[in-house]
Amino acid sequence: MVLSLINKFIVIIVKILFLLLILLFFQLLIIDISAWILVSSILFVLLLDFSKPLLFKNFFLFYTFLFFIISGEFYFSEEKSFLLDFFVCVTFFMLGYKLVLLKEQKETYNNIYLNYDSLFYIAYVLNIGLILYKIFLVGFSGYLGGDFFVLSKDSYGTRDNGMGFYTIIKNFVEIYSLSLVILHQYAIFVKKRHANYLPFIILLLIVPMLSLERFRLVQGIIMGLLIFSLANDKRGEFKLKHFIILLISIITIVFSAISINSIRSKGFYGENQSESSNPEFAFQILGELNNTFIYKEIKDGLKSGKYSYQYGRTLLLPLALKIAPRSFFPEKPLNTGGEISKSLDLISFENGFMIPSAIYGDLYYNFGYFGLAIGCLLLGYISNVLDSGIINGSKGKVVISVFVMNYHFYSFLRNDISNSVSLIIFTFIVIYFLKNINKIKIII
């Protein structure tokens, strides 16, 4: 009883300190702290679960707060246009999170029969092959200078069979590697074996770093936190050492993302400009939230009549045709981010620059506040199911879903729905295929 009260008191103190840090961050960004900003910040901190930081609920709340409140106020401080949107998303997400539509069932699982050694060797060879192919096209110095990134952007929207085949192979190798890691960690988890981080480190950390892909690296680090957490506590509880790992991971994410961005920018702006005109730190971080511009454009355009509600058109058609690279099919329908980016700046769009709409922009562009509310309601319910798998220490299919969604959840929130959902579907398909490809039992 006394220990429980002490833990609750510690949580209260931590939340107060975290709230003060948020308010200090607003001050550093020179954002006026209005009554509504203070209320939204308090609501955000109260809803967070500090005992289990890796819950999907926390991911949603954190990104939604960054998107609408911090980024919204930083870029559009005079308009105060996103406060209502923030409260709609959080309210309906929490309503969905509290729904209990299915009775909790005892999880069961089947033994995994996979020839891990040979399958992992294939993944290693394929990833190395992709990196060497990129170096072959632009040279080693050009690769480190971001030239391949420029090449891929230049080919966007044009018929290029070579880049089309590369895109298909690259997407398959990424999903194949991720699926192997998930099945490997799942087998370790359900059989209560000692953790083996080597395949994860190679495929989800080292490969993205060598490939100069910051988004994949961020996803890999986030998934690594979950793997480490479950390996040390089956219910995802965090201890002091977990907090230290989390802090180091956040610093690594920020440093790696900025470093990779600096390398890739050399291909566009040249060596001198990329070194001499780096934006301030806050702008580099908030640059990941530039899709707030797309969201504002959607809201303003729908209000002025520039755009009209799409009622699912920019969700379903791009999803159905996602498997075909744009290099093969330049005329295929655009998703929400593509349509708005094209409308805002046709020249940049034709050069391959496109800002994603985020899940909020996708929902609002298609169905307005109704879509925003229902979408967040459904996402809240799904997050509750997945979080229950962590909290209850489930050992069955929920665990695989937790790993899959943990990796893709940041993409699901930040990118267009059609792109994220297609990757999630493909991952589940590859996992199902790998689980049934052979019946050779292997010792982990």
Place of tokens 């085949």: 165
User: What Å distances lie between residue 255 and 21, 103, 268, 377, CA to CA?
Assistant: 20, 44, 21, 34
pLDDT of residue 237: 52
Place of tokens 């799409």: 310
Give the list of residues 6+ apart from residue 131 with CB closer than 8 angstroms, or none.
207, 210, 211
Summarised one tens digit per residue, pLDDT across range 281-337 is: 455 555 567 788 889 999 999 999 999 999 989 998 888 888 777 767 777 888 888
Q: Tell me the C-alpha distance between 290 and 338, whole Å.
A: 14
Q: Tell me the C-alpha distance between 158 and 160, whole Å.
A: 6
Q: Determine the longest span between alpha carbons in the chain, in angstroms.
A: 68
pLDDT of residue 226: 82
Closest CA to 113 of 192, 193, 201, 186: 186
- Contact of 108 with 328, CB cutoff 8 Å: no
Q: In the numeric block, which tokens belong to residue 97?
A: 């999170």
N- to C-terminal Cα distance for the chain? Answer: 41
pTM: 0.84
Q: Tell me the C-alpha distance between 48 and 159, whole Å.
A: 47
Q: Tell me the C-alpha distance between 334 and 328, whole Å.
A: 14
What angle, 0 to 180 degrees and rounded to 10, lies between the N-to-C axes of helices 313-320 and 358-391? 70
Summarised one tens digit per residue, pLDDT across range 345-394 is: 776 676 667 788 899 999 999 999 999 999 999 999 999 988 887 766 55
Summarised one tens digit per residue, pLDDT across range 102-112 is: 555 554 555 55
The more confident residue out of 93 and 154 is 93
Closest CA to 95 of 386, 300, 383: 383
Helix intervals (H) in 56-139: 56-64, 72-75, 83-97, 116-138
Q: Tell me the C-alpha distance between 338 and 357, whole Å.
A: 8
- Provide mean pLDDT across the span 62-89: 84
233-242, 271-280, 411-420: the lowest-pLDDT one: 271-280
